[in-house]
Amino acid sequence: MATYKLNHLQGLEAEAIHVMREVAAQFENPVLLFSGGKDSIVMTHLAMKAFYPASIPFPLLHIDTGHNFPETIVYRDRLVARTGAKLVIGHVQDSIDRGTAVEEKGYNASRNALQSVTLLESIAHGKYDAALGGGRRDEEKSRAKERFFSHRDEFGQWDPKNQRPELWDLYNGRKHQGEHFRVFPISNWTEMDVWQYILMEEIPMPSIYFTHRRLCFERSGALYSYSEFMNLRDSEKETLREMQVRFRTIGDMTCTGATVSNASTVVEIIEEIASSRVTERGSRQDDKRGEAAMEDRKKLGYF
């Protein structure tokens, strides 16, 4: 007799597809947040599976800081062409020009925090009532309590102490006028699950996740890609050199650290993660701005 059980990746996939379909059924105007990182690539893949042979019933929204890795944009545009998905772009530069966001100054200046402003403006402008994100509970401790269906008030804010209980696989997306939801279908996935799923499903990935030579410099113990968007101190300029690196997460160029790596295939990446002693966000400068840095940004409307 056949055994009727799913392996862990099939179980997580079934859960994520269920959540995406709930979003399509319960909301009028959802949108999928697409950063070009591995989590949002997996999300797009899941959305294609969830609605096949129909096309994805919501657009992709990219919040563009203008400080992207060029490889991310190349990948994004190919993906859009391949899937026929609709792409909407919210530019942080537009928020700065409007005066709703103010550019940070100094050596550590980053547009990462400004994305929240542009994101909320884009959600309001598009009248989106649900924004699907690739956030995972294992990424950071304040995310550990995030719901699949996460309610946001009319100011786009998250109230971690007053969340709706979430039972079985029954999701309550009811809301008042002006409120919206953030929905996290891959809440229960870990970094390892994401890569194993990419392997299982043979999902093509942007080149910067794999090892390559790149001009890097050191800042507070981390490696960064040299780019025109960052001001280097003289001491940092001295550390500039070509290195064999890859990226474990992809954000904005100003805050995403590189890791020294020779991993050139998905299997090698999985092996590298299995033996890694540092979490993926260990290379994200944005989380190191204090013990509750992520919680504070999330309350204000961050991803």
Give contact residues for another protein (rule: CB under 8 A).
3-15, 17-18, 21-22, 24-25, 48-55, 137-138, 141-142, 144-145, 160-161, 163-170, 172, 174-176, 187-188, 190, 192-193, 196, 199-200, 267, 270, 276-279, 282, 291-292, 295
Closest CB to another protein among residues 54, 228: 54
Closest CB to another protein among residues 19, 245: 19
> Rounded to the nearest whole angstrom, what is the least distance from the CB of residue 103 to another protein in the complex?
28
Closest CB to another protein among residues 111, 284: 284
Decide the pairing of beta strands 222-225 and 212-219: antiparallel
Task: Quote the Cα angle for 215-220-221, to 5°.
Answer: 70
HSE-CB at 232 with a 13 A cutoff on CA atoms is 17
Closest CB to another protein among residues 200, 215: 200
Alpha-carbon gap, residue 133 to 158, rounded angstroms? 14
DSSP annotation of 233: P
Alpha-carbon gap, residue 31 to 24, rounded angstroms? 10
> Rounded to the nearest whole angstrom, what is the least distance from the CB of residue 67 to another protein in the complex?
25
> Rounded to the nearest whole angstrom, what is the least distance from the CB of residue 223 to another protein in the complex?
15
Beta strands in the chain (DSSP E): 30-33, 60-64, 87-91, 130-132, 149-152, 180-183, 212-219, 222-225, 241-246, 257-260
Closest CB to another protein among residues 88, 270: 270
> Rounded to the nearest whole angstrom, what is the least distance from the CB of residue 225 to another protein in the complex?
21
